[in-house]
Chains A and B, each alone.
Chain A
Amino acid sequence: MKKLSYGSLILTLCGGLLSSALAQTTSPAAAASAAPAAQAAPAAEITCFESRKGASEVVKRDIRPGHPNVKCSTRTGAVLWWGDPFDGTVPMGDMPLMDKIPAGKAVVKPRSDKLPLLAACGTGCHNGVIPPKLPTSKKPVPMPTMEAMMPDAKNFQHGRGGIWCLDCHHTTQRNKLVNNFGEPVSIEQPQLLCGKCHGDKLRDWRDGIHGKRIGEWASTGKKRWFTCTECHNPHNVQDGARNRGFIQIAPEAPPQLPRGMIDAKHELRHGVAH
């Protein structure tokens, strides 16, 4: 585990994508396929990310002999295959309109495990009370501690100036998020917060159309749901080279050229000569 990358995760409570991108230095070693000496014991640890780098790394290990928990891509470091989709998951907390799903059938991977300083957020700094000079305007004031933890605090890339820190983070219980009524929301249930503004996405996510699930396909089956912040970094949804809202990732390898073709350059020429 890289302490440095996890340290940068703390300030956003969900992971700062930029800082983790900087911290991520190694790419995974030789992956499962075609490696001559593939068995794990003396070889380097293989880590790959499930949804986005910095949010959800897993270490490859064997669940049973010859059956790994994940298979990783040698090219991009992403998880390509899950051996056990429910490895490390806990049941999802209660949510409105989720009563159709039987208990224990919706599970998530907890985020708080990956955020070691989260517990401290609740008590460190003003020990859970409102600080004396709460800002009157919705503009972040310079705070060296905060800026050290989240460098882009003043250039917040979510909502185009329409929202700020305390729209999502609870004022006094700082290890929790907040809903419209000021009630604290667990960090494990970001959907209760995100759905405030993104209701159509929440509805689609609840019904399985938006977002990612792994596990059993039956509507009454057990599934691991990927929560909002596993795929989306809420501090950085607008920033950087994004096309259609997605941060760019490296693609996997193109298909093999069939016999008879030297290269694929013909694809870059117009079909019919003009």
Chain B
Amino acid sequence: MLSVSSLMGTAALMAKSDDVKATVEWAEHFQGNYRLMTDAEKTEARARLERRYSAQYSKKVTVDCTEAAPGVLMGYALNIKKCIGCRRCVHACTEENNQSRGERPGERIEWIQVLRMERGEFTKERMDQGYPEGLGIQVGGNAYTPAGAVLEGQYHYDPKAVPEKDANYMPIACMQCEKPPCVKVCPVRTTYREADGPVVIDYNWCIGCKMCMGACPYWARRFNLTTPVLPKEAMNPVTHYLGNRPRMRGVVEKCHWCLQRTRQGRYPACVEVCPVGARKFGNLLDPESEVSQVLARKNVFRLKAELNTFPKFFYFYD
């Protein structure tokens, strides 16, 4: 069954592409886990991928394999007082990281989700009403009432202009935990925490069992339900093996703090695009870096800290 499905997949790929070199080479099917590869195997894997991607997207694609630099632990800080919910980070990310973008449900993948939260208020009018309990049991007072229709957050908000008067915004993506639950549950050790901090995935080794997706408390991981839809013009040819190289059907992907940029010293795309400068990135081990300064001077918190995941993505306000 293994080889049958593999053959079917290969056959299908061969049928679709117009360039012979764009097919998946036999050797790529049998390559090993990236972390266990020797340098020679890594070079070979990288060359194979560059050949295939360059043929597939009709441009020169580079697949970088830069390792973690010593003395670096990447960290991230987001100022929730500043975020205006414009979602440019979401779209800058997709421009940079070669996500699938198509019209069928499930074909468009975005790694960042922005949560819009409404403010409620306390009012005199409802002072005497009981606390709304689903089964009609009244427990306490109900002076607290939502300003709008709902209190629970929304993800699909689409007003004419942001920020709205009665709303707060909070983007959520992979927290790059120090103790990632997703890494623990992976049966093939394809997802792991790199030495400089980000949690990465070897897309060629992922078996698509989705255990990691179930374990993540922040819903950071996305699944490629189909062969990614990525037009040639939109493809970003500067890629990293563990980063933004085009993925394939049936594997998991997520934010990796733009490894292709950060390992070369550049900010992730979301940090650069934020129009209000809410996003900060740097080296947690360097006390002069922006993110260390934030941790030293501002009020900082992390989401779901009680789960002991020790995220390296901090939220702050000033």
Contact = CB atoms under 8 A, between A and B. Distances in A.
The short answer to whether A and B are in direct contact, CB under 8 Å, is yes
Interface in A137-180: none
Interface string B139-183: 000000010011110111111111111000000000000000000
Given A71-B95, A209-B318, A219-B288, A252 B88 contact: yes
B14 interface: no
Interface string B98-125: 0001000111101001000000000000
B288 A79 contact: no
Interface in B52-66: 59-60
B280 A208 contact: yes
A217 B273 contact: no
B271 to A, nearest CB: 8
Given A73-B91, A218-B265, A264-B156, A209 B297 contact: yes
A268 B281 contact: no
A34 interface: yes
Given A33-B233, A209-B297, A256-B105, A270 B273 contact: no
Contacts of B95: 32-33, 71, 80-81
25 contacts: A32-B234, A33-B233, A34-B231, A73-B88, A207-B290, A209-B298, A210-B277, A212-B274, A214-B272, A215-B267, A216-B265, A216-B267, A217-B262, A217-B265, A217-B266, A217-B282, A218-B286, A243-B165, A248-B161, A249-B84, A253-B158, A254-B156, A255-B90, A255-B108, A259-B106
A272 B152 CA distance: 10
Contacts of A251: 85-87, 157-159, 161-162
Interface string A5-31: 000000000000000000000000000
Given A33-B231, A252-B87, A258-B105, 10 more contacts: A33-B233, A207-B293, A218-B282, A251-B85, A252-B88, A256-B106, A259-B106, A260-B105, A267-B155, A268-B150
A78 interface: yes
Given A66-B237, A217-B281, A256-B108, A268 B275 contact: no
A97 interface: no
Contacts of A271: 150, 152
Nearest to A247: B161
Contact size class for B? Answer: 35 or more
The 9 closest A-B pairs by CB, nearest first: A264-B156, A208-B290, A248-B161, A212-B277, A252-B87, A259-B105, A219-B288, A256-B108, A274-B132
B186 interface: no
Contacts of A241: 161
B162 A100 contact: no
Given A243-B164, A249-B161, A100 B288 contact: yes
A253 B90 CA distance: 9
A51 interface: yes
Interface of A: 32-35, 38, 51-52, 66-67, 71, 73, 76, 78-82, 85, 100, 204, 207-221, 226, 231, 241, 243-244, 246, 248-261, 264, 267-274
Nearest to B107: A256
A257 B154 CA distance: 13
Contacts of B269: 81
Contacts of B262: 217
Given A33-B234, A255-B155, A267-B155, A231 B286 contact: no
Interface in B246-303: 262, 265-267, 269, 271-277, 280-283, 286, 288-290, 293-294, 297-298
A212 B276 CA distance: 7
B73 interface: no
Contacts of A80: 88, 91-92, 95, 273
B50 interface: no
Interface class of chain A by DSSP = loop
Contacts of B156: 254-255, 257, 264, 267
Interface class of chain B by DSSP = loop
A33 B101 contact: yes
A267 B86 contact: no
B70 interface: no
Contacts of A100: 288
B91 to A, nearest CB: 5
Nearest to B289: A219
Given A32-B233, A34-B234, A252-B90, A246 B163 contact: yes
Contacts of B108: 255-256
B272 A82 contact: yes
A217 B105 contact: no
Contacts of A220: 288
A261 B156 CA distance: 12
B134 A273 contact: yes
B87 A253 contact: yes
Contacts of B165: 243
Contacts of B202: none
Contacts of B106: 256, 258-259
A133 B267 CA distance: 52
Contacts of A221: 265
Nearest to A34: B231
A258 B286 CA distance: 41
Interface string B72-100: 00000001010011111011100110000
A24 to B, nearest CB: 15
